[in-house]
Structure 1
Amino acid sequence: MIATHSRNLFHDAEREQLELFRALSGDLAPRDAQDLMAYPFFSLAKSKRIKPIDFRMGEIVIKVEASVEHGMATIWDADVLIWAASQIVQARDRGLRTSRLMASTPYEILTFTGRTTSARDYHRLKAALDRLQATSVVTSIRQPAERRRHRFSWINEWKETADANGRPLGVELILPDWFYAGVLDNALVLTIDRAYFSLTGGLERWLYRLVRKHGGSQRGGWSFDFEHLHAKSGALSPLKHFAFDLRDIVRRQPLPNYRLSIRPGPQGGERLFFVPFQIPASAPVLSAGDPPATSVEKL
């Protein structure tokens, strides 16, 4: 009881310090945070996931833990964060003041993310908000000291709002400062294709975000070996099943604006290659003797 009371006092104090930002109306370009596109932060399964994600690569450390009651936030739940990032960037570009405390309606969030406004999808949105709040993340990304860690939930808190007669008005939510600071940095946000919201599989949604993050506009494309992709996905499925699903995605080619292919790697094994359909004239060109870009990333 004491812990709960202390947490409520903390949230009340946080809310009092924040100016309310009311969501913009109209057709906004969907924008995604690059950190979330490049690393395993979400469950890719539609069934409840409790097992943590524990990812380490170089100096990057990520641990994502789920609550038993709600399970881990999924890549579909992350649509709420894409909506939030899109709102913040659009408002900032218009010269408006933004805030981590945001107010909107379920209708606005659902229509932006390509959902219906049925009662079923309203309930799904509330469940997504619960998972986003209940999921705990610890990461070293964007921390000034190598051994420092930042712990947060995807949503600090959220609540439904109502008028004096109890009629529902909308929802309010508070974003964590780690996410908010990343969105305000122009270099850490990318515009994504609205067709992303039509992707139904967790793996293909994750793969699109990774491809969009790394594919950029390099004429030579980019590639990753299957083992590296498996580690980056945070998926629970074994590598053998993961590779089978990747091959199926390549066969179907569902990712908007990118062409996927599989080729043998220089050290054996399979590599996934991807290149944008439309390459700007200003994009760098690899010479015939240069290898395509690989999974060796600059962290």
Structure 2
Amino acid sequence: MSAATDTPGGGLLPDRHPTADLFACDIFDAAPKDDLGTMEHPIFSLSTRPDRRVLSYAHNGTEIEVTPSVRGRATIHDKDILIYCVSQLMAALNAGREVSRTLQLKAHDLLVATNRDTSGDGYARLRDAFERLAGTRITTNLATGGVETTRGFGLIDSWEIVRRSRGGRMISVTVTLSDWLFRAVLAKSVLTLSRDYFRLRKPLERRIYELARKHCGRQPRWQVSVGTLHKKSGSTAPVRVFRAALRKMIAEANLPDYRLSEAPDDMIVVERQRAARPGPAAPHLAPETLEAARALAPGADVYALVARWQAWWEDTGRPRLGNPDAAFLGWVKGQGRG
């Protein structure tokens, strides 16, 4: 990968807010969630410099053209905003609340949830990200929610910042998502991400993690050629440079939940791993909670539900839960609606 697509340093970023309740929402389903469309296709730039090139991509019948604004194409780090928005919407849907394309967010909560700096520079970078997201235009025939459309749209339709009159710090942000992205949420075309995703430093690491999560989510192993992975990643580096970046990624082994290795014939193997991770012990549930779960899911094996919920909690990075009982019951309700 070229210098323009790498950030200095190696390893994971520090967990800047280790005691925070991510997404300011004590609902288990508020774990980070990404939409399948942008996980599969290279819509976001991997460059850390303004990328003003028009991207044209075609694969298996899907055609995408991404046109940046004068500020450059939205980057994979800008995508954190969309992941946060999608996560909030999915949490609301799973809790039985009505949702709309327009969200009102607290800027500080967004920064904390995505492991970003909450200094003045952090807020300035957040505004820049909104401008790139709104300015990036997409023409595609991608299908979302069972509907195929060929049209142009932005990643977000609009955004608005409310600031304090003194100091200029953001208080709240209003974001209106594109109809295309909102349909993906309503159709639940999303996957849960590890919270350590936000600790990945390099754009290519984030992109490879997305592809691993998409293709290796329900199977233990995914094998792909370097050439196909290069195309899917959206990297603009020559294949030989991309291959070298993959080898470095294999050696550093920073990807949460997945391990990469090389195979003969220029192939890359992605395998899911369940390494022990530091964090709180499995949440303890009160007997009354199990009784409530039986009432919510008549006939279900409540202990099997607990095991599935704890496995999901493990997969999403062992988040700290202020009220595990309420989180579990919210998850059970969501299972019933799914």
The normalised TM-score by structure 1 is 0.78
> Matches of residues 221-236 of structure 1 in structure 2 within 5 Å?
221-236=221-236
In structure 2, runs of 5+ residues without a counterpart are: 1-22, 276-307, 309-338
> Matches of residues 128-277 of structure 1 in structure 2 within 5 Å?
128-142=129-143, 148-162=149-163, 169-186=171-188, 188-219=189-220, 221-265=221-265, 270-277=266-273
Question: Residue 38 of structure 1 aligns to which amino acid in structure 2?
Answer: E
Shift of 1:25: 3.0
CA distance in 1, matches of 2:59, 2:36: 17
Contact in 1 for aligned 2:134/2:156 (Cα 8 Å): yes
Contact in 2 for aligned 1:217/1:276 (Cα 8 Å): no
In structure 1, runs of 5+ residues without a counterpart are: 1-23, 283-299
Question: Residue 254 of structure 2 aligns to which amino acid in structure 1?
Answer: P
2:118 is matched with: 117
CA distance in 2, matches of 1:123, 1:167: 9
SS at match of 2:24: coil
1:26 is matched with: 25
Two-structure CA RMSD over aligned residues (Å): 2.2
1:98 is matched with: 99
Shift of 1:67: 1.1
Question: Residue 237 of structure 2 aligns to which amino acid in structure 1?
Answer: S
Question: Residue 269 of structure 2 aligns to which amino acid in structure 1?
Answer: F
User: How big is each residue's C-alpha offset from its partner over 1:226-245, in whole Å with a ceiling of 9 and x where there is no partner?
Assistant: 11111112221111111111
- Percent identical among aligned pairs is 35
SS at match of 1:178: helix
> Matches of residues 59-78 of structure 1 in structure 2 within 5 Å?
59-68=61-70, 70-78=71-79
CA distance in 1, matches of 2:165, 2:56: 46
2:109 is matched with: 108
Shift of 1:106: 1.1
CA distance in 2, matches of 1:164, 1:158: 19
Contact in 1 for aligned 2:67/2:136 (Cα 8 Å): yes
CA 1:228–1:217 in 2, change beyond 3 Å: closer, same or farther? Answer: same
Larger RCO: 1 or 2 (CA < 8 Å, sep 6+): 2
1:45 is matched with: 47
Q: How many residue pairs align between the two structures?
A: 249
CA 1:168–1:40 in 2, change beyond 3 Å: closer, same or farther? Answer: closer
Spell out structure 1 runs of 4+ moving beyond 6 A: 143-146, 163-167
Whose helix proportion is higher, 1 or 2? Answer: 2
SS at match of 1:156: strand
User: How big is each residue's C-alpha offset from its partner over 1:164-220, in whole Å with a ceiling of 9 and x where there is no partner?
Assistant: 99985311111001001101212x11111000000010101000000001011323x
